[in-house]
Amino acid sequence: MRQQHILIIGGGIGGLTSAIALGKAGHGVTVIERDPTWSVYGVGIIQQSNVLSAARQLGILDGYLAAGVGFDAVEVYSPDGQKIARVSGHPVAEGLPANMGIGRPALHKLLGDAAKAAGAQIHLGVTATTINDDGEAVHVDFSDGRTGRYDLVIGADGVFSQTRQTIMPDAPRPQYTGQAVWRYNFPRPADLDALHVYNGPTGVGLVPISAELMYMYVTTPEPGNPRYETAGIAARMRGKLAGAAPAIQALAQQITDDESVVYRPLEGMMLYGPWHKGRVVLLGDAVHATTPHLGQGAGMAIEDSIVLAEEIARAATPEEAFTAYHGRRFERCRFIVEKSLEICHGQIGKGPPVDNAKATAEMFTIVSQPI
């Protein structure tokens, strides 16, 4: 299918990488994003070498490497701070690091600029109020009063996807896991040359994201899915680390700014059936929302974008394209979702403990395979 008129719902990582891939392929792309400020958290994100390989395919690798910092290993520690293992990653191409940390604002700007350069029209503060697929095209009404007719629609609108709810009202809903994640930025020590992962009921990770910065993530059991006010949340995060390894407790004393704490309950879902209906298809968290325990949520969305664009180019019909896309992506995404959830459940006593070093090594082996 050539020169399709495509609407992408969602201006996050999956939506923007889809816009880049499809725009470069010659399609007309419109992106709508409900957030009028188009803002992202000020902390970081982990990207493995499969994501850097995808960035190379998208033509944005140089920007990726310049915006973040690469590292080639994951160090796993016991809850008391004793090093258990150092797991080397598997770079998918010579000259690429096995992992990279990058600040979310830097990544967001990189992808937004590249999407615009690829020709995408981006509208902020806009949602799709109706989506009507008549078999020949998809007619969409927008919250700003506009209407549009599109050959294809891509729902990249996250774990609580309204697009999924619209086209698949009986699809499973995201489930709260019983765990949440806290994040905070710190100055990066000069000797932090790997992702440091601390096991235990309270999981902790230290991730380099630039020459000067790292961020800490903390996963904690949160029965009942509580919500915390911003005022006092830094003290709450410090309290969650009271029983952590000595090095982590020392860092915790620097958690003082309420506004810099990012707290998010962890939900997950896997759509085991089709990922499309008619001319409307879903990607990223809308179909395989993973907890962050293997650091592959964004990576899976970016890979989805590339594969979907390739199959749209190859296929004669939307059905053919979307079926092939699902076939190439399902097992890889299923592994990430299910293994990440196993780690999550093991940490909070809802399942047997998972060997993080073994799970990380298995993940590296799987994502180093071509998409």
Question: How does residue 273 score in pLDDT terms, banded at 50, 70 and 90?
Answer: very high
| Predicted model pTM | 0.94
Residues 239 and 334 reside in one and the same domain: no
The total number of structural domains in the chain stands at 2
Give the CATH number, domain containing residue 135.
3.50.50.60
From 234, 251, 266, give the residue that closes a domain. 266
Higher pLDDT, 357 or 289: 289
| The 3-state secondary structure of the chain, one letter per residue | CCCCEEEEECCCHHHHHHHHHHHHCCCEEEEEECCCCCCCCCCEEEEEHHHHHHHHHHCCHHHHHHHEEEECEEEEECCCCCEEEEEECCCCCCCCCCEEEEEHHHHHHHHHHHHHHCCCEEEECCCEEEEEECCCCEEEEECCCCEEEECEEEECCCCCCHHHHHHCCCCCCCEEEEEEEEEEEEECCCCCCCEEEECCCCEEEEEECCCCEEEEEEEEECCCCCCCCCCCHHHHHHHHCCCCCHHHHHHHCCCCCHHHCEEEEEEEEECCCCCEECCEEECCHHHHECCHHHCCHHHHHHHHHHHHHHHHHHCCCHHHHHHHHHHHHHHHHHHHHHHHHHHHHHHCCCCCCCCHHHHHHHHHHHHCCCC
Residues 237 and 136 reside in one and the same domain: no
- pLDDT tens digits, one per residue of 319-353: 999 999 999 999 999 999 999 999 999 989 999 99
Asked if the structure places residue 137 within a domain, the reply is yes
* Percentage, residues of the chain above pLDDT 70: 100
From 266, 286, 309, give the residue that closes a domain. 266
| pLDDT confidence of residue 199 | 85
- pLDDT tens digits, one per residue of 80-122: 999 998 888 777 777 888 889 999 999 999 999 999 999 999 9
| pLDDT confidence of residue 89 | 72
Question: How does residue 140 score in pLDDT terms, banded at 50, 70 and 90?
Answer: very high
| pLDDT confidence of residue 98 | 86
Residues 11 and 107 reside in one and the same domain: yes
**Is the model's pLDDT at 284 over the cut of 90?**
yes
Residues 37 and 65 reside in one and the same domain: yes
| pLDDT confidence of residue 340 | 95
Question: How does residue 261 score in pLDDT terms, banded at 50, 70 and 90?
Answer: very high
Q: 218 is in which domain, residue-wise?
A: 177-266
From 266, 286, 319, give the residue that closes a domain. 266
Question: How does residue 41 score in pLDDT terms, banded at 50, 70 and 90?
Answer: confident
Across residues 226-237, what is the average pLDDT?
A: 97
Of 70-79, 273-282, 318-327, the poorest mean pLDDT is in 70-79
Of 89-93, 140-144, 254-258, the poorest mean pLDDT is in 89-93
